[in-house]
Each structure stands twice: as C-alpha cells, then as structure tokens.
Chains A and B, each alone.
Chain A
Amino acid sequence: MTASMLEAKNLTVESRLADGCRLPVLSGISFALETGKVLGLVGESGAGKSMLGRTIAQLLPPGFSVSAGSLSFAGRDLVRMGAQARRQLLGREIAFIPQEPLGALNPVMTIGAQFGEHLSRLGIRAEKRRRDEAQVLLEAVHLPRAVQLLRQYPHELSGGMCQRVLIAMAFASRPKLVIADEPTTALDATIQARIIGLMGEMRDAYGAALVFITHDLRLAAKFCDEVMVLYAGRAVEKGETRDLLSAPLHPYTRCLQLAVPSLSAPDRDLFTLPGEMPGLARLAGLHGCRFARRCPNVGEICRNEEPKLSPVAPKREAACFRTEMTLDIKVPNQGIPAQPKLASPLLLVEALEKRYRSRRGLLARTELAAVDGVSFTVSENEFVGVVGESGSGKSTLAKLIIGLETPSSGRIELGGHDASDRSENARRRRLESAQMVFQDPQSALNPRRRVASIVTQVLEAAAPRLPASARQLRAEELLAEVGLSAELGARYPSQLSGGQKQRVNIARALCATPKLLIADEIVSGLDVSVQAQLIALLRRLRRELSFALLLISHDLAVVRKLCERVLVMWRGKIVEQGVTAEVFARPRHPYTRELIAAVPGE
C-alpha cells in the first residue's frame, strides 16, 4: 500500500498586509509524500520553501493564512483542524527541526530538563524512565557521554551537537512526519555530512516521512527521493531527484545547477542568473511566467501567459512552455582570470602565533593556541584560499593580519613594511594596503548610515572636510564597480537584499584601493545565484583593479573556483598548502581528505 502520509492539493497561502490587501505567498502547491520518503524543497531565499514548511507544521506567522486548497496528513485535514487536535499532532506525529539549533533550545535550562519536559508531554511520567529514554535517544544520534550531556546547558555544546540533540528530540515521539528547515545550513561541511547521514538513519529506523528544506542543490541530490523546486511562491518543477537533477526541465533549475561550483568536475565558469527574485509586492502586478525576467530562454508567450505545472515526462512535472530548450542553456564565457605576479610577495607571514589564556577554576590555567606557527606568502594580484572547519583558526588569522588582534609572536610583513607592531603609524600604513570584508553583512553595515555614506567611510576618515558632492561622486563610482545602481546610495542597509549588502560591504573595502583584500566567508550563507554573482564580481574586479585576495571559506568548491593557491588549516596549523587544483585532486594530509569527502554531491 502506498498511501500518502502528507498530501497537498492546490495549496494557497496568503499574507494580509497592513492596508488590508492580500497577497499570495504560495499558490497552487500540490504534492504527495509517502512514508519513508524524503521530499526536498529547493529554491532561493524568498521562494516560499520555509513558508511551505511552516504551513505543514502549522507554524505560520501572524497575518498569514491558508486561503485555498487542502493539506492532509494521514487522511486528516490539517487546514481545518481545531487548535486542540493540532496541538495533539505537533511534536508527536509531526516534528520540526529548525535552522538555528541554538535559538531553538532554552539557554537557561539543561539539555536534560528540556528533554524531560518534551518526554513528559509525550506521556512518560516517571523521572527515571524519562532519563533512560533520553539517554537511549542521545546515543542513537551518536552523542557520546549522554549522561553528562543531560546535565549541560546549550551554550556548552557546539552547533552540531545542539542540532543532534534537536534531532533526537524530534524523533523521540516516533513521528510519522519530520520537517527539517535548513537543518545544516549553519554548520560546517564535515558536520553537515554527519547530520545528513544521521537523519537518513533515523528515518530508516522509525519509518518517518521527511520534508527537507534546503537551498543547496548538492545536498538535496544526496539526501532526497523527490525534489520540488520553488520560485516566487510557485512550484516550477517536480520529480524524482536523480531524473530532475541529471536533466532539469525548468530553466530555473538548470540555472541554479550551473551556478553551483563543483569540486571535482572539470573547471567551468559559473552561470550568473541576472537580477533577483521578485518580492511579494511586485508579484501582484506581474503577468506571465514569474521567471520570465531572468530566464535565458524567454519567449513571447512567457511574458503573456503563466505556465501551469504539468506533466512533461513520466513522474516529471514542470511549469514552462519551452522545456525542450532548457538543456541548451550554457554558461557564457567570462574570459580568463588575471594572472598573479608571483615574483613580488605582498604579504609575508612568518611563524605567526596567537595564544589565548583561559582560566578554569582558581589556579588551573590553560593556554590555547588559536593560530600556531603559521607561515605563508601571498603575491601581488594572487587569490589565496584558506579552508578548514570552524575553530581551526581561520578567522583569527584574518584578524591578526588586519590588526584587529595582536599576535603573541611571529612576523607579518605587508607590502615591505613590518605590520605586527601596534603603533598608530603602523596601523595607518597597514590599512592603506589591506582591507577586510566581513562575514556577516547584517552586522558589518551600520544600520543608521546610508549606503553612500558607508562605502565612502574611508574618505570620511582621511579627509573629513571633503565636500559632500565629491563624496557622492566616489560613492556612485564604487557602487557602479560592484554592479549596484547609483540610486541605492540613498538607502539604508535594512532596505537591501543579502547579496546587495555583501556588494556594499565589498565596495567599502575597495574605496581605499587596497592591494590586499581579506574576505571572511563572504559568500557562505547566500543563495547559490547570489554566490555565483559575487564570484563573477570578484573575478572582474581583479582584472580591473588588480588586488590580491585572501579568501577564508569552508566551501571548498568556492575556493577552487576563485583561488590559485589554498592553505588548509587544522587546529591552528597549516597542514597542507599548494596549488588549488593539485591539493584538491591529490590531497596529502588525512584532514584535507576528510574535508573533501564531506562535500556533498562528489
């Protein structure tokens, strides 16, 4: 019997705006999910995939409601179900694994207390039985020292451990359906691989159906049986994972696929999807196919008529008029990257060390080396990648070079000057030749400054009496360089999208025309299309402005795409360095091999 565990028919979710006007956030979504299967929901941010997950889990934010269609779980109607019955289902038969594991756990309660609370809700009253049950569940997710763990608080655990605790809790009730909303996005690649494997194990052990929400096509390929691609609130393509990803029928899927850098395939340029997904407000006035404005295969019919999701091949559905042209989409040639001048070293790092002292108890003091005897050089106009998992000392290394931290010992030479002392003069000299692009554009852009003022902060520091018009001129120049229109200069950061913020972030660093740019995870956490745009941007800027880049990233494929050389860091040491293609093709150190093996889809 193949009865569907979860079935949606023409599901439509609307959002009510402040002025009473209603806008569809999701429209006409239909799918059926069988027991023991994994359905992947894929798309860029804003596509509606999280909203769909929240609709199924009945966690819609206020102002959103299901306006048409049906959603049934094991034969019961989820939309018209009473609040009481819904509470009975949630956390028991339907479980939810959130994106931010730390945010989902109560910081003032021990893991044991939270686990116990959940289990007592499930009907296990006896304290001792709850503890035993929790221990069994934690061991099932391969967490060592379960007894000790139950007495710890969430902040004492790493992100990966917290996520495992949440998975254990989600499966505690033997749920029939589990919804995982980007459960691994905030985690390292090595841990990501383990979590995905673990969720597969749990699904097999308990026979649950899984809805897996992700923006990472490679992850979906690895884990899901079926994939539904969403774009602007509509399903644009649906089918079995292998078919769908080996021969996409909708141009959006194809473009996303071409935008993802690969670690093993022959080197190719990335497809850069122009523009952005239309926002809610713009959708209302849109005619024809929602993807038409960005589609490379757009035709006359696409602008006038909206394609319906319809069967194209066996078990395949796509919403496109011209599916036969999809596979012809090719990446336009973006030209050869500029070559580094290897003869002249720009940055020289020698035996660099940074130790932190941590106090435990009254007397015991331990020293922790975040960066432990690191030596390397970066030549002019050379792009160098630094890879490693979190805690390997990558970010500390960046802070040491830029001067946000002082080294415990060792030497940093930048453009021929010693850059390791703390004097004001050394600071000025260093900032003339090096700049940093921060990881989190949210935190790196002052929310109270306009974009034009942010990108020209260097001028504000160097020449405070510069006339406003000259500053405005430079701001427009910089915005054009990073591919933003001049009118964005008048906006505040909160009015920009994630990709735009990161461009502003880059523009600010470029204002001082640095010879070395240090970039800390600048493309991680962004949609693949935005990521491809930023990679193309960095390559273009390198040709035009000629600077060197030290790119810190945990995404090996991005490093392979951008950098000639790579340094692999592990526990504060460089365990391997060399030409990128060489290192990734023939890794020597076991840790490098482990990193490469963890990359999904290879």
Chain B
Amino acid sequence: MRKRPMRKELSFLRSGRVTAGAILVGIVLICALFAPLLAPHDPQEQNLITTLTPPAWSTGGDPTYLLGTDSLGRDVLSRLLYGARVAMTVAVAASLGAMLIGATLAHLAGYFGGKVDWLIGRAVDVWMSFPPVVLSLVLMTGLGAGISSVILAIVLVDWTRFCRVLRAEVLVTRRQDYVAAARLVGFSHWRTLTREILPATMPLLITLFSIEMGIAVIVEAILSFVGMSVGANQSAWGQMIADARQTIYESGWNLVLPMLAIFVTVLGFNLLGDGLRRTLDPRLAQAREL
C-alpha cells in the first residue's frame, strides 16, 4: 500500500535535523582527524613578534595567520583544529564509556527485574543524590588533571543518565509477548537480551549517545578552562578561552572563535540527537504517519 522509496533502516536520513546535525558533526570530526594535515602551523609554535594579529580579513591581518594569533603569537586556526581533537576524543570515549556502563546495567535491571532491579535502582539513586558539578570536581581532585581523568570523570558522573532512561524502555519491551515467545522457543537469557530486546532499545541508545557527546564537549571545555584537562603543551578550546580573557580588549576574536567552535559542535550533536529521537522513536513516527 505504502510507497517505499528508501529502505526502512535508512529512512531517518530524510529528516532535516539529522542531516544538518550530521554535517556539522562531520565537519568537526574531519577537522579533528586530519588536524596535522589541515593546520597551517604547529599549534605550539610561538612567534612573539606577531602577537595578537587580527584575522586575515580585518585591517592589519596577516594572510599567513588566517584567524590571527594569540597573545603568545600562536596560530589560532591551528590551535582550534588541534582543540577539536581533544574535544572529539573526550566526546567519543566518555560517551562510549558512560553508555557501556549505563546501558548494561539498565538492560540487566529492566530484564531481570526483582532484586537486580532494586539494587541497580538504588545505586543510581545514591549516585544521583550528589550534585554532578560537585561530584566531578571531587573526582578531578582525586584523579588529578589530564585528558584520561576528564574522560573517567564524565563516565562516572553520566552513566546514570543512560541507566535511568534506558531501563524504562527495556521494561516496556520486556512486557511484549515476543520476548516471552523467544524464551519459549528456547532462547537463553543472553540471546533474548541481545537479539530481541537490544534491537528495540537501540534507537534510544543511539539518540542518548549523540546527546551525551554534546554534553561531554561542554564538560571538557569547562574543565580545561579551569586547567584540569590537558596540559599547557596541548591546545583545548576551554584553555583557549581562558587564555584569551587577559587580552579581551585588544583582541575579542581570540575569545569568540573557540566559543564558536564549542557552540557549533554542541549544536551539531544536539540537532543530530533530537532528529534521531524524532525519526527513530516509533511512537512519534506513527503520529506523523497518521
């Protein structure tokens, strides 16, 4: 009856939000992956003769420094590109970690129910009773500065987000007769979980993952702003903002550009996540079809 111009699995590409988000994220990802090839300068190379050069298009700009230089004469464009590497590393690794812990516990809790559910549910409650900012600062103090500590802190703070939301979805799927039917044809618990329940929760998982990446980028920027992320020999967006504060009156560009980078990246992740939620959620998809 219905026309099927595209395969069911690929239909989400038709959404404008998903396309826009994917393009933004894709650009940032390419910048991060190919930073050494794209960057015109070494991001740490100082040139104290040409400090605070404005971007190339404004008066006094220098075409060799496309987006100008900072107070130590380092190329802003190169620093932004390398900063994307840090942001993306943290976003992917931290979200993956939070998702693995959260999703595993959520599936166990929702599927087995009873005591397992109670135990995991209380653990999440206790965990969430700490304010996230306090918890991450405590963790960072304990773990010490560094990019792996940032990743670990985000994982330890944010796994509860996955656990809470996914558990509800697992519960709904668990009540479907086809899960009982799978057990009745002889599926083991493991096979039922991976073949029957996981495919149903996957859309939500992907959506949460995408939104979590945006959150991770912001958290990394905050922590590198206060100097708890990467060391001074690496460039990160938060660090660039912190550095540019001193010269805010001489060169506003140095402040605006890293902020813009963060803005675009987070916008991309959020658009992607929101779009995916709208297209992959069968309830919303049904409402649209009617």
Contact = CB atoms under 8 A, between A and B. Distances in A.
Interface of A: 18-19, 61-62, 279-281, 402-404, 428, 431, 435-436, 438-440, 443-448, 457-458, 460-462, 492, 508, 511-512
Contact of A62 (B1, B177, B185, B290): B290
What are the 5 A-B residue pairs with the smallest beta carbon separation, nearest first?
A: A461-B186, A444-B177, A438-B177, A443-B177, A446-B178
B122 interface: no
B68 to A, nearest CB: 51
B184 A444 contact: no
A514 to B, nearest CB: 10
12 contacts: A402-B184, A404-B183, A428-B186, A443-B178, A444-B177, A444-B178, A444-B181, A445-B178, A446-B176, A446-B178, A446-B199, A461-B186
B12 interface: no
B186 A435 contact: no
Contacts of A428: 186
B181 A458 contact: no
Interface string B159-196: 00000000000000000111011111111100100011
Given A62-B290, A279-B1, A511 B176 contact: no
Nearest to A282: B1
A596 B195 CA distance: 44
B283 interface: no
Majority DSSP secondary structure for residues of B touching A: helix
Interface string B132-173: 000000000000000000000000000000000000000000
B199 A439 contact: no
B177 A431 contact: no
A269 B38 CA distance: 79
A402 B184 CA distance: 8
A445 B184 CA distance: 13
Given A19-B3, A404-B183, A461-B185, 17 more contacts: A280-B1, A403-B184, A404-B180, A431-B184, A435-B185, A436-B181, A438-B180, A443-B177, A444-B181, A446-B182, A446-B196, A448-B200, A457-B187, A458-B185, A462-B186, A511-B185, A512-B186
Given A61-B290, A281-B1, A492-B8, A512 B177 contact: no
Interface residues of B, number: 22
Contacts of A18: 3
A539 B268 CA distance: 59
Residue of B182, B185, B186, B200 with highest tally of chain A CB at under 10 A? B185
Contacts of B185: 431, 435, 457-458, 460-461, 508, 511-512
Contacts of B8: 492
A458 B181 CA distance: 10
Nearest to B178: A446
Nearest to A61: B290
Of the candidates A281, A439, A443, the one having the most CB atoms from chain B within 10 angstroms of its own CB is A443
Interface string B250-290: 00000000000000000000000000000000100000001
- Which of A279, A439, A444, A457 has the most chain B CB within a 10 Å cutoff? A457
Contacts of A461: 185-188, 191
Interface of B: 1, 3, 8, 176-178, 180-188, 191, 195-196, 199-200, 282, 290
B267 to A, nearest CB: 31
A508 B186 contact: no
A581 B35 CA distance: 83
Contacts of B178: 443-446
Contact of A431 (B3, B186, B191, B196): B186
A79 B177 CA distance: 43
A435 B184 contact: yes
A160 to B, nearest CB: 24
B141 to A, nearest CB: 44
A438 B178 CA distance: 9
A601 B100 CA distance: 60
Nearest to B202: A448
Nearest to B179: A446
Contacts of A508: 181, 185
B206 to A, nearest CB: 14
Contacts of A279: 1
Contacts of A431: 184-186
A309 B178 CA distance: 45
Contacts of B181: 436, 438, 444, 457, 508
A435 B182 CA distance: 11
B270 to A, nearest CB: 27
A28 to B, nearest CB: 23
B192 to A, nearest CB: 9
Contacts of A445: 178
Contacts of B177: 438-440, 443-444
Contact of B184 (A436, A446, A460): A436
A173 to B, nearest CB: 28
B182 A457 contact: yes
Nearest to A461: B186
A402 B183 CA distance: 11
A103 B139 CA distance: 48
Contacts of B188: 461
A253 B162 CA distance: 55
A431 B185 CA distance: 7
A444 B178 CA distance: 4
A436 B8 CA distance: 30
A443 to B, nearest CB: 4
Contacts of A19: 3
A461 B184 CA distance: 10
A508 B200 CA distance: 20
A404 B178 CA distance: 13
Nearest to B199: A448
Contacts of B290: 61-62
B235 to A, nearest CB: 44
A18 B290 CA distance: 11
B244 to A, nearest CB: 50
A456 B24 CA distance: 43
A404 B185 CA distance: 12
A428 B191 CA distance: 15
Contacts of A440: 177
Contacts of B176: 443-444, 446
